[in-house]
Amino acid sequence: MKPIVKESDYSTIKNIINNLTPAQKTKEVGQLMNELELAKKVPDNKIPKGIIQLNSYFEVEVGQPAQTIKMTMVIPKNADLAQNKISLFSPLSVALIGFKEGATIDWVLPGGLRKLKILKVENQVKKEVAVK
């Protein structure tokens, strides 16, 4: 199963990565870069419904016994776990970006191999403002 990424998210993420210092380029950043290169890039208006992308709210079931995690994926500077906002550089975000609601993914997270089931995805829709 190949991840699907909006062209604008791809550009945003690549720009963030390109501006990191060598010390900031963690293993997860390397994994994210690999996932982005493998991903199918699509125009923003062609992204299928239910795909986890930047600013997506998602609910995912992790591990045995199953635990449900509810988060919003954001750029690193906006991450705030107290508000359930997780950095796109986190191991969980790297595992999930580009995958669709209902998908099950096996991924190595801290603590070992985990089965991740995406239960729900909500994406913010940009509202167009009519100019008169």
pLDDT tens column, 118-131: 999 999 765 444 44
Residue 132 lies in a domain: no
Pairing relationship of beta strands 40-42 and 104-109 according to DSSP bridges: unpaired
Query: What percent of the chain stands above pLDDT 90?
Result: 70
CATH number at residue 57: 3.10.50.30
Q: How many domains does the chain have?
A: 1
Residue 127 lies in a domain: no
Domain that holds residue 51: 4-122
| Residue 30 CB coordination number (10 Å) | 12
Within 8 A by CB and 6+ apart from 124, the residues are 55, 56
Residue 57 lies in a domain: yes
Pairing relationship of beta strands 4-6 and 85-87 according to DSSP bridges: unpaired
Tell me the whole-structure pTM to 2 decimals.
0.85
The predicted structure's pLDDT at residue 124: 76
Query: What percent of the chain stands above pLDDT 70?
Result: 94
